[in-house]
Amino acid sequence: ARVAREYLRSRTDYPESFVEQVCDAVETHSYEGDLDDVNLETRCLMEADLLDKVGANGTALMLLRMGYEARTHMDANEMVGRVLERGEDVIERARSDTAESIAHQRIKRVRWFKEWLEAEVADMEPGSAHDPER
């Protein structure tokens, strides 16, 4: 929020009230509570942040994490299952119809990927404790 404040004050002519609203949204966007308890701007930022963790992007990030943690390809199913778990959390937390719809679309794609992975990798266990649908 400090960087946003400095940037907006030094490079734009926005009113101070707007600068403070932006900084407030940045400061509180990682809030774990009910999205009904924050203003609309912060809620939009938080829903976008949550959506970023599911779908193809979330799956790619989890697979990259596998490399960082020196895991094998046999752990991929578990990691993709975590993306599905996050997606279910996003659906529960989302307040806008748009965010909920996007989350459902992204979860569907992750399930497809998980099914393809299970079908193509020999000895991979189908299903996972992390897949709420199974």
The reply to whether 87 and 118 lie within a common domain is yes
Per-residue pLDDT of the chain in tens (134 residues, 90 and over written 9):
899 999 999 999 999 999 999 998 888 877 787 888 888 888 988 899 899 989 999 999 999 999 989 998 889 999 999 999 999 999 999 999 999 999 999 999 999 999 999 999 888 877 654 555 55
The reply to whether 39 and 26 lie within a common domain is no
The reply to whether 39 and 76 lie within a common domain is yes
What pLDDT does 134 receive?
A: 52
Q: What is the CATH number of the domain that holds 123?
A: 1.20.58.1910
Distance CA 124, CA 74 (A): 6
Structural domain count of the chain: 2
Q: How many residues does the chain have?
A: 134
Distance CA 11, CA 7 (A): 6
- pTM of the predicted model as reported, rounded to 2 decimal places: 0.76
The reply to whether 26 and 38 lie within a common domain is no
* Domain membership of residue 10 as a residue range: 1-30
The reply to whether 58 and 110 lie within a common domain is yes
The reply to whether 19 and 57 lie within a common domain is no
